Amino acid sequence: MDSMSIIGMASVIASAICMGIGSIGTGLGEGRAVQQALMAIAQQPDEKGALTRTLFVGLAMIESIAIYCFVISMILIFANPFWNQVIPKVVAGG
Amino acid sequence: MEVMTLQMISPDQIVLWKWAFITINATLLFTWLVMGILVCASFLITRRLSAGTRIPRWQNLLEVIVGAMREQIREVTEEDTDEYMPFIGTIFLFILTSNLLFIIPGYVTPTASLTTTAALAVCVFLAVPIYGIRKQGIVNYLKEYFQPIFIFFPFHVMGEFSRTLALAVRLFGNMMSHEKVIAILLAITPLLFPVAMHILGLLIGAIQAYIFAILAMVYIASATGAHHEKQPSAAVPSEAVKLASAK
């Protein structure tokens, strides 16, 4: 197997694993956060505004972890930095 | 009609015009478009404001937007001030307009490019010490970095940089991922489903603009130390009001 196909295979598998594992923790975390916020709103409906704002800020913090994973996956698939070292060699060799 | 193909990860890659070292790409063009829309709209609306009972309808719209932003800022800072309004309001309106315009075919949101969001995050990164020093003085502001004990200094500095990075990548990731999802859906189920995703995109764009502005406000408020002083005095009257209303 030449280095080009190894890089392609590794990039696709790595991006899938990155996205999959990265979103598990984020999903669990967001679920817990929303659950606690709903319970708090049910107990104290007067504080709904402050609770919702804090919930949004917290969810944004949690979600950014999944977004990092997504960005890394996109970079690995569409803008892979390792291609640039391989493609000139292939063009020159072929 | 899609300007960006699926392989393009950022609108920076669409080069419209090039001369020597000056390059005009899609990000720049649409940023100027959003800036133009905001400036022209605010100029035309605020040219003839009236304080009577019958106000023009556009003035009504602007009053609702500005009033809501002011309300949110006051709730976060717990201060009666309009000091942060120009900065936070500008960021919010710019991101909101550039996110919501994406339902127009042929438009690529400038916030889907990492350069735009990084520039906005750097603005927040610079605004935090500026507001903090103006409010507390430079000695008190620098003291915050050594707050529990001096060992925490590198962690505070690291936190400043990592949250700036998070601010930039969060907005970029959300908007870029949404464009990619729509591009993929257009290839698979062309007619109705992308429309539903566009409607969801309006919601996501508004929420991301809100989150960016609120996070910037929270960072600035933590640097100006508004919370520490106001917390005890603000808690007492609300308790008193609750007791009074319970009776």
In this structure, are residues A56 and B211 in contact, taking their beta carbons and an 8 Å threshold? Answer: yes
Spatial separation of the C-alpha atoms in residues B125 and A41, rounded to whole Å: 33
Of A49, A67, A79, the CB nearest to B173: A67
Please report whether residue A11 resides in a domain: yes
Angle in degrees, CA B177, B183, B188, rounded to 5: 125
Residue B96 scores a pLDDT above 90: yes
Q: What is the mean pLDDT of residues B77-95?
A: 86
Burial class (CB in 10 A: 0-12, 13-18, 19+), A30: middle
More confident residue, A89 or B117: B117
For A7-60, how does the pLDDT look when each residue is reduced to its tens digit (9 = 90+)?
888 889 999 999 999 899 999 999 999 999 999 999 998 888 888 888 888 888
Of the listed ranges B155-164, B209-218, B224-233, the one predicted with least confidence? B224-233
Residue B2 scores a pLDDT above 80: no
Q: What is the mean pLDDT of residues B208-222?
A: 89
What is the pLDDT at residue B19?
Answer: 75
What is the pLDDT at residue B233?
Answer: 44
Q: How many domains are there within chain A?
A: 1
- Parent domain of A28: 3-87
What is the pLDDT at residue B236?
Answer: 47
Taking CA–CA distances from B215, the nearest residue in chain A reads A57
Measure B166 CA to nearest chain A CA, in Å: 7
More confident residue, B153 or B231: B153
Structure tokens at A61: 């913090």
Q: What is the mean pLDDT of residues B238-247?
A: 50
Q: pLDDT category, B234, cuts 50, 70, 90?
A: very low
More confident residue, B60 or B80: B60
For B3-15, how does the pLDDT look when each residue is reduced to its tens digit (9 = 90+)?
666 667 677 777 7
Q: Which residues contact B51 (CB under 8 A, 6 or more apart)?
A: none
A72 vs B contacts (CB less than 8 Å): none
Structure tokens at B105: 């075919």
Domain ranges of chain B: 11-229
Interface contact flag, A60 B211, Cβ < 8 Å: yes
Q: Which residues contact A93 (CB under 8 A, 6 or more apart)?
A: none
Residue B170 scores a pLDDT above 80: yes
Interface contact flag, A64 B169, Cβ < 8 Å: yes
Residue B247 scores a pLDDT above 50: no
**What secondary structure letter does DSSP report for A94?**
-
Element (H, E) at A87: helix A83-93
What is the pLDDT at residue B61?
Answer: 87
Interface contact flag, A60 B215, Cβ < 8 Å: yes
Residue A93 scores a pLDDT above 70: no
Spatial separation of the C-alpha atoms in residues B25 and B34, rounded to whole Å: 15
B173 vs A contacts (CB less than 8 Å): 64, 67-68, 70-71
Please report whether residue A93 resides in a domain: no
What is the pLDDT at residue B3?
Answer: 60
Of the listed ranges B67-71, B187-191, B214-218, B239-243, the one predicted with least confidence? B239-243
Q: pLDDT category, B230, cuts 50, 70, 90?
A: very low
For B109-159, how does the pLDDT look when each residue is reduced to its tens digit (9 = 90+)?
888 888 889 999 999 999 998 988 888 888 888 887 887 787 888 888 888
Smallest CA-to-CA distance from B120 within B203, B219, B222, B21 is with: B219
Interface contact flag, B215 A74, Cβ < 8 Å: no
For B156-169, how does the pLDDT look when each residue is reduced to its tens digit (9 = 90+)?
888 888 889 888 98
CATH code for position A36: 1.20.20.10
Of A49, A57, A67, the CB nearest to B169: A67
Residue B203 scores a pLDDT above 60: yes
Residue B94 scores a pLDDT above 90: yes
Instruction: Specify the 3-state DSSP secondary structure of A30.
Output: helix
Of A57, A67, A79, the CB nearest to B215: A57
Please report whether residue A92 resides in a domain: no
Which residues of B lie inside 8 Å of A (Cβ-Cβ)?
Answer: 7-9, 72, 75-76, 166, 169-170, 172-174, 176-177, 180, 207, 210-211, 214-215, 218, 242
Please report whether residue A72 resides in a domain: yes
Interface contact flag, B169 A68, Cβ < 8 Å: yes
More confident residue, B57 or B64: B64
Q: What is the mean pLDDT of residues B167-177?
A: 88
Interface contact flag, B214 A53, Cβ < 8 Å: yes
Chain A segment 10-69 residues within 8 A of B by beta carbon are: 46, 49-50, 53, 56-57, 60-61, 63-64, 67-68
